[in-house]
A = this chain, B = another copy of it.
């Protein structure tokens, strides 16, 4: 898209907002969460953790499904943990991971109101 396409000339008639848009601060916080899931390996890890019965999974069950080194999986799990999307709990030899449903719901809800327009349109 060129600068010309944007049309910085006369203003058109403003259309009212049907609901509040995100503030800059809200968007910054949410973008950090989306950055954490914006990676194929992390999406698959998140999906695998959520897909396990009981919502908890041992790290040993996560590593086997990937053609990646342990440290690489470890790095991706750390990014998800630091973003607050999963928690890790060591019990004996293993670390057990759970998703943080409220954190994922927050991200989903940002996209869902827009998706709802399809129904009401």
Contacts and interface: CB of A to CB of B under 8 A. Distances in A.
Interface of A: 1-3, 5-12, 14-22, 24, 27-28, 30-31, 34-35, 37-44, 46-61, 63-65, 70-71, 73-74, 77-78, 81, 88, 90, 93-95, 99, 101-102, 104-105, 107-118, 121
Contacts of A59: 5-7
B99 A117 contact: yes
A53 B31 CA distance: 24
Contacts of A40: 24, 27-28, 30-31
Given A27-B40, A51-B19, A12 B94 contact: yes
Contacts of A73: 6
